[in-house]
Amino acid sequence: MKKAQIIEFFDRLAAALPEPKGELEYVNSYTLLVAVVLSAQATDVGVNKATRKLFQVADTPEKMLSLGEAGLKDHIKTIGLFNSKAKNVIALSQQLLAEHGGQVPQDRDTLVKLPGVGRKTANVVLNMAFGQETIAVDTHIFRVSNRTGLAPGKTVDAVEQKLEKVVPANRRRHAHHWLILHGRYVCKARKPECPTCQLHDLCAYKAKTTAEAAPAKAAKRRKPAA
């Protein structure tokens, strides 16, 4: 995708949604960190259902440790991999208190040293909690970047590096959420909504779905009348 097309790409996303927001629910930087850790291989909807009551009783590292691993598991047992996630949340809470005064670090290198926190999680926290211009490449962003031709790459790291280079400076703050939401609700994995996509003419996806495609295929399958 050429520079002018990329600028237009993000201009259209910005016009449609000037202030995009993440869908994970949280009350402070600590609960955001916990929510993102819990969201690995889980949906935001599922995590939110579990954390609404959790964050009412444990919204700081101290309160989380008072709740304990068993108590935490009881709150998050509906989330996949809850056993290992509970261990990580308790461990990162202990580390935050021991090494950071209970505060969430504001740099990636320090964040990724916390149990259960990888580069993607760190980027989400830095972007949402502290307003840093980071891009966390999840499955949605990876798909949109490759499918549209915006920032093709074979790995999430390659896509992140490409996005860092091509996203216009005035769009870096919200690029993360625009791409996630576009992938989640428009550029879907199995059935992309190409006919109604505002980026249709900019997209390089060769297998674009069209409003006429489905009837045409149905006609081909229909047997001629006897």
Choice among 14-18, 122-126, 215-219 with the minimum mean pLDDT: 215-219
Specify whether 138 is catalytic: yes
Residue 54 falls inside a structural domain: yes
* Mean pLDDT on 72-99: 97
Give the pLDDT score at 210. 64
* Mean pLDDT on 143-151: 97
Continuous H helices in 58-206: 61-76, 82-100, 108-111, 119-130, 139-148, 156-166, 172-185
Helix, strand, coil fractions of the chain, as percent rounded to 5: 60, 0, 40
pLDDT level of residue 224 (50, 70, 90 thresholds): very low
Per DSSP, 55 falls in state: H
> Which residues, including other chains, have CB under 8 Å from residue 102's CB and lie 6 or more apart?
30, 60, 61, 62, 96
CB atoms within 10 A of CB 183: 22
* Mean pLDDT on 155-178: 95
Give the pLDDT score at 223. 43
pLDDT level of residue 141 (50, 70, 90 thresholds): very high
pLDDT at 131 over 70: yes
| Tens of pLDDT, residues 61-70 | 999 999 999 9
Residue 36 falls inside a structural domain: yes
Specify whether 188 is catalytic: no
Residue 60 falls inside a structural domain: yes
> Which residues, including other chains, have CB under 8 Å from residue 215's CB and lie 6 or more apart?
none
Give the pLDDT score at 207. 84
pLDDT level of residue 222 (50, 70, 90 thresholds): very low
Number of domains making up the chain: 1
Q: Could you tell me the pTM of the whole model?
A: 0.85
Please state, rounded to an integer, the average pLDDT across all residues of the chain.
91
CATH of residue 69: 1.10.340.30
Give the pLDDT score at 206. 87
- Residue 189 exposed, middle or buried by CB count within 10 Å (0-12, 13-18, 19+): exposed
Residue 187 falls inside a structural domain: no
| Tens of pLDDT, residues 168-213 | 999 999 999 999 999 999 999 999 999 999 999 999 998 887 654 4
Residue 66 falls inside a structural domain: yes
Domain that holds residue 45: 29-130
Residue 18 falls inside a structural domain: no
Residue 13 falls inside a structural domain: no
Per the residue annotation, which of 44, 53, 59, 138 is the catalytic one?
A: 138
Q: Which residue has the higher pLDDT, 223 or 92?
A: 92
Residue 168 falls inside a structural domain: no
Per the residue annotation, which of 120, 191, 201, 220 is the catalytic one?
A: 120
